[in-house]
Amino acid sequence: MLVKKRTSRPFAGPEKNPILAPRVPAWRSTLVMAVMGLAFGVLAARAVWVQIVAHDFHVAQGQKRYRRTVELDAMRGPIVDRHGALLAVSLTTYEIWAEPRRIERSAHVALARALALPVPELERRLATERTFVLLERHVDMQTANSIARLGLAGVTHVAASKRFYPEAESVAHVIGFTDIDDDGQEGIELAANALLGGQAGARDVIRDRLGRIVSELAPPVPACNGQTVRLTIDRRIQQLAFAQLQAALARHGAQAGSAIVLDARNGEILALANAPSFDPNQQASRKGHALRNRALTDTFEPGSTIKPLAVALALDAGLVKPTTLVETAPGHYTIGPNTIHDTSNHGTITIAEAVAKSSNVAMAKLALNLPAERIWSKYREYGIGQAPQLPFPGLAAGSMRPWQRWRPIEQATMAYGYGLSMSLLQIAEAYTAFAGDGTLRRASLVIDDQDATSDSSFDRQQARPAPRVTAPETAAAIREMLEAAAAPGGTAEGARIEGYRVGGKTGTAWKHVGTGYEKGKYRSLFVGLAPIDAPRIVVAVMIDEPEGRTYYGGKVAAPVFASIAGGTLQLLGIPPDV
């Protein structure tokens, strides 16, 4: 048998072995390693950027996902009258919120019944793609608790507050109101908004993905509730003034009216009423002319109520005495193309009688014997043309033309209240000069209970000190004239108060409409002091557009003064002086 002899072959290296020979070019592996090295470099650079360069940004972004600052609402401060009676207060209420996706349809009826809503209305509010929806604001605690007892998934309540005004219409123009976010919009609510609003607190917390608070990162900063604002208003006198004003408007069919009661000793406003008014608790009533605070924002020609100022000026100048005679016959007086009329022919009368009988002719002659510049400057001292110093929005300054442009007829009319304009508050403030030693008492509305060094007080308007605008003996003489006006035979017999001696001045002014006066439309005015020997109060009344033939201030406004002043004197405990 032949055996084939196997011949051995020498071993070939891997570089020559076709099986072990590399199939991928070497440059590819080099490329892969380079790419991997570059990737690691990019990751390292990114890590440096995130951890070092942009560290604060990324930390903040992360905290946004779990860290929250929860605002703690401050309770709005109350507004009270001079005796502490509440005029505005914040009540605790609740907001009802819902997650529409979690509320089962079977729960709609029970929830609607608890909220006193029709079921279709509730379903309309829930028909939204939003995660959370507000179902109802200002829900009381009883309603909130009844909803909580239902145990409905997706329904929760959040504590809130609602502003409430116990005196409603009577003091609405003084207090004003807040909006839905509890920010002041009118009146003292607006003027003292920063003081009343307080300062919100904060909690820095961590929340989980469901929004639940799991921990606090720092002690909470408590909210600082708003401060109490105490007004000079006396709630009882305010109610009295508002009620008498409403009765007068109904009695005379008038369009509107205002009344102000000042403390004659210091100018504090004891009452400031306007009619028509509105209920600040009802948002629907906050509209139209009812919002106008006519006593402060409306200006008009003061008519004969300005006459005591002109007479005081002439007395101080030594031009006349109360007993000086002046000829008013035949009841009218012509200046150029213009003629001034009295209501009747008073003949020859004294200056004191001219005030009591309200003679326009006598006042015109008096004014023409005084320098125009002196009249203008003295009227400015009384506050005409300058806004009262009150922390209140929309105060009117009134107007008076520069004396250099006065014609003789204008100088004459300045003495009986035409050619200039004032607000009712300015008229009342001017009469405080006649209630004492001739010093004008600036009207005030807020009693400053704050520390004198505190920056929180907003009633620090003492730039213009109270000036002495007339001599003490002149003020006493004017009081005697005002008392004669309210005595039998004067123009204001309707201002008399049983048991008290009073004095005052009537005014009946044509209404200025557009560029002229509208026939048949008047403002009836009366400003008075009581008791006349030592006046404690100044009361000013304005009735706008009384209907019928009875439109004189003595017939329309003077009786309102008597009702308000008489009640006020009794409330203040002033004993009768007759």
**Are the CB atoms for 280 and 166 separated by under 8 Å?**
no
Q: Would you say the C-alpha torsion 323, 329, 332, 335 has a positive or negative sign? A: negative
358 given a catalytic annotation: no
How far is Cα 239 from Cα 271, in angstroms, rounded to an integer?
Answer: 8
Active-site residue, from 277, 304, 421, 444: 304
Cα 353 versus chain centre, distance: 42
Q: Would you say the C-alpha torsion 522, 529, 168, 199 has a positive or negative sign? A: positive
| 42 Cβ neighbours under 8 A, 6+ residues apart | none
For residue 143, how many other CB atoms are within 10 A of its CB? Answer: 18
**Are the CB atoms for 42 and 48 separated by under 8 Å?**
no
Place of tokens 């004008």: 440
Q: Where are the beta strands (DSSP E) in 317-464?
A: 325-327, 332-335, 338-341, 348-350, 399-400, 420-421, 446-447
HEC readout, 5-55? CCCCCCCCCCCCCCCCCCCCCHHHHHHHHHHHHHHHHHHHHHHHHHHHHCH
Collapse the DSSP code of 354 into the 3-class scheme (helix H, G, I; strand E, B; otherwise coil) and give the result: helix
Q: Omega into 330 within 30° of 0, i.e. cis?
A: yes
Q: What are the residue numbers of the active site?
A: 304
